[in-house]
Amino acid sequence: MAGPLDGVRVIDFSRVFAGPAATQILGDLGAEIVKIEEPSAGDEARFLGLRDGNMPERGVSACFLALNRNKQSLTLDLKTEAGIAVARRLAAGADVLVHNFRPGAMTRFGLSYEALRAANPGLVYCEFTAYGADGPMAHIGANDLALQAHSGLMSMTGEPGRPPVRVGTAAIDLHGALAMVAGILGALYHRERTGEGQFVESSLLLSSAHLMSYFYTEYWLDGVERRAMGTANHLSVPNQVFPTKDGGVVIIAPSDVMWRRCAEALDPERLAKPEYRTTTDRQRLKDEVIGAITDVTLSMTSDEIIERLGAVRVNVAKVNSVGEAASSEQLRAAGGVVEFDYGGEHVQAVSAPFRMHGTPATVRRAPPGLGADTVEVLKTFSFGDDEIAVATRGGAFGPPRD
């Protein structure tokens, strides 16, 4: 079955996390993704996170395999005139172009939106930067960790009274990927109606601000700056991790109705007290309520608590390890796992974060080897053998071989 983006051609100059995560989603939806990589080493993600710097037999890192399925790889040296000429021709035949170079880099290559739209007015050109293209910090490079710090997210993460810590995953990168996908799909819908492409801009800054949205508005309205609260949340009580006999569970009961069900299921004698009845009461007596719940949960196993609270529709979750979460039967049942083979090894990866039942996302290609599809891609874009030979001699795909 064809995907909803079947026939859409995407030229992807991005690397590492945010851009590749975005284009992988487009690829899962059926788009043809041409991944442009630097000839000598390719996308840095090919080697990220390798233990002790040792390359596994498969030749690439798990990070790369997680974010680069449904793509073809073409190596291109943008420091050569031949490489730039190939890039311009690819862009002229594409529907979407994505990059996450620093501001001004694509302009220096002669590949800015303004330079490309004359030959392809329907091009959707998506630029993802650190701090945006304008403003006093636009020239500064940054990554997910830097924006966790800049955005204030890091100041809220960790235990009260202790130094800030990072969120364990690249949350801003991956949130930024979804922002790019939303912008690109919106621009493609606009083009479907008008025939006009457009420039789509996003950044780690905008992604981090969106994650922090209600905290910023709370500050702008009331001058409140939230600080680290451990696993707790200021919005309701209970809303945090509680220790158990064998680990920990999250219990969240934000409404009075859910709290009554929670109290009755766990220990009505200790928890179903009149003084804990309302949301306001529980906020006012927060320490006392948390202490009472903790006394109860410490006498039970995590599975016992989940069984009791799940049965009465109270929000609850076990604090899993990465391995426990990845092995969860529920993740697979929800369609969260895809599988493919790479270099003779069977690989499991996380699916696109949604399911379309009419035109489902699919895995059509394993992540590509560096430059493995260069000739195939060029022929798809109507390059003849002579043209490929000329570009090769010009160093377009890396140093020419004798």
Above 90 in pLDDT, residue 182?
yes
| pLDDT, tens digit, 9 for 90 and up, residues 33-77 | 999 999 988 999 998 877 666 666 677 899 999 999 999 999 999
Distance CA 179, CA 119 (A): 27
Question: Chain-wide mean pLDDT for the chain?
Answer: 95
Which of 95, 144, 173, 373 is the catalytic position?
173
Distance CA 66, CA 190 (A): 31
Which of 56-60, 134-138, 298-302, 369-373 has the weakest average pLDDT?
A: 56-60
Q: Give the amino acid at 117.
A: R
Q: What pLDDT, on the 0 to 100 scale, is given for residue 302?
A: 97
- What are the chain's domains? 9-211+332-393 (3.40.50.10540), 239-320 (3.30.1540.10)
Q: Establish whether 341 is a catalytic residue.
A: no
Q: What pLDDT, on the 0 to 100 scale, is given for residue 193?
A: 97
Distance CA 331, CA 347 (A): 16
The alpha carbon dihedral of 108, 80, 201, 130 has a sign of: negative
Task: Enter the pTM of the model.
Answer: 0.93
Q: Give the amino acid at 193.
A: R
